[in-house]
Amino acid sequence: MDSEIVNGFSSTTTTFLPDITNGSEFIGNLSNIIESPLGYCGTSLKPFQKWYGSFHSYTSLTICVLGVIANILNLIVFTRKSMRNPTNIILAGLALADLLKTLEYVPYAIYLTFPNSRTYAWAVYVLFHSNFSQICHTASILLTVTLACWRYIMIANFGLGNTLCSRQRAKWAVGFSYMSSPLLCIPIYLSFSVKPSPLTRTKKAATYPEYVVNLSDLADQKANFWFYSVVIKIIPCILLTVLSLCLIYSIIQAKKRKQILLASSQLIRAKFASARTASTKSEHGPIGSDLVTRMLLAVNLLFLMTEFPQGILGLVSAMLGDIFFKSCYIPLSDVMDFMALLNSALNFILYYLMSSKFRETVRQLFFSCGDRIGPTEDLNRVYTIKGN
């Protein structure tokens, strides 16, 4: 289940939560669920939930603002003429998905920082917020997997990679990710709807109904958990793990091939020493290509650190049922929410630290003392030694 929906109506002591095994039920006090001896996590997570929940909206808002700024910078850099290449097109698409996700989260985080009532308009917004953020997040997942596949094709199949991994195909890959994300999320749309709550609120002597986001009439909560945790979370994580291991293996093999070639061509190496030295100091040489791969591996690792725990918790919730969901998943939902936002904001730092061309472009764009930006850094190219 999407933690956005959980957060949207579990931030107070009265909430309306779906029951995984028996439809749905009204929960008058969330703390009673967590304190129940039947809960898998018992009361161990309750103090942490209260402690972190007291400032979650502030930390989320801060990360969102920083994420919006960081992803705008990413888009500016990757769309510069000197940075336009197939890999950067995918990175720009990833930055756009993260930008939309963090930008849309800002009003939600602001609203949570102030006392609020559960009006119909608020419940509709929570539902929209959850669905829209899930679409953006799914797009970023697809683009991250695409990026890993892209890099592996370039390393493992140099000749084929130059043909397959063109700019036009990169644009198609980005477009496919954005078009397929709303379709993949259809089961989530059908699972939740706005419904009246048994509670009411009083304002100026008048009584008004309260509304919450809860399971729709079409929902199968157990199936939703399986779909969300397996299809959207665990399968992409497994693919990324396998691709990352393949990339690491390719780097190791490329280094071995390089050592063999260098050992068997001492005369040629001496003759072209100056040219080779110049190439190794640039990201246009084998070492630079390795650095690009390592940068993408860092992006994959950051993704896995945030997505795998959510997928595993969702899968366990589907297997163990409602008690585990309420006693373990819900108390950790705010933290998982924050980690997903943090993942969207940190890519700029990774790019800046691990790509000299990215740093050069940032300095040229935002600091007048920078040197003229050189030719396009083609992150797709593999130079000199196959596999680098």
Question: How far, in Å, CA of 294 to CA of 123, rounded?
Answer: 43
Rounded alpha-carbon distances, angstroms, from residue 101 to 58, 68, 229, 244, 305: 17, 9, 19, 25, 18
Alpha carbon 157 to its chain centroid, in Å, reads 28
- In the prediction, which pLDDT does 322 show? 76
C-alpha dihedral, 322 to 309 to 219 to 208, nearest 10°: 80
SS3 content of the chain, % helix, strand, coil (to 5): 70, 10, 20
Cβ burial, residue 125 (10 Å; 0-12/13-18/19+): middle
Question: Residue 295 corresponds to which amino acid?
Answer: M
In contact, 40 and 319? CB cutoff 8 Å: no
Question: Residue 352 corresponds to which amino acid?
Answer: Y
Token code pair at residue 85: 């290449």
Question: How far, in Å, CA of 30 to CA of 17, rounded?
Answer: 9
Closest CA to 106 of 349, 333, 347, 341: 341
Closest CA to 68 of 341, 338, 355, 334: 341
Alpha carbon 113 to its chain centroid, in Å, reads 24
Question: How far, in Å, CA of 17 to CA of 28, rounded?
Answer: 10
pLDDT less than 70: residues of the chain: 1-39, 115-117, 158-159, 161, 198-208, 217-222, 264-290, 368-388
Q: Is 39 helix (H, G, I), strand (E, B) or coil?
A: coil
Question: How far, in Å, CA of 377 to CA of 387, rounded?
Answer: 18
The CATH number that domain 3-22+46-366 falls under is 1.20.1070.10
Q: What is the CA radius of gyration of the chain?
A: 24
- In the prediction, which pLDDT does 356 show? 85
- In the prediction, which pLDDT does 369 show? 54
In contact, 93 and 100? CB cutoff 8 Å: no
Write the pLDDT tens digit of every residue in 92-123. Answer: 999 999 999 999 999 888 887 776 667 888 88
Domain ranges of the chain: 3-22+46-366
Question: How far, in Å, CA of 81 to CA of 92, rounded?
Answer: 13
- In the prediction, which pLDDT does 286 show? 40
- In the prediction, which pLDDT does 173 show? 93
Per the document, the length of the chain is 388
Question: How far, in Å, CA of 255 to CA of 249, rounded?
Answer: 10
Strand partners, 195: 212
Question: What angle (nearest 5°) sits at the alpha carbon of residue 168, between those of residues 167 and 173?
Answer: 95
Q: What is the pTM of this model?
A: 0.76
- In the prediction, which pLDDT does 22 show? 34
In contact, 348 and 289? CB cutoff 8 Å: no
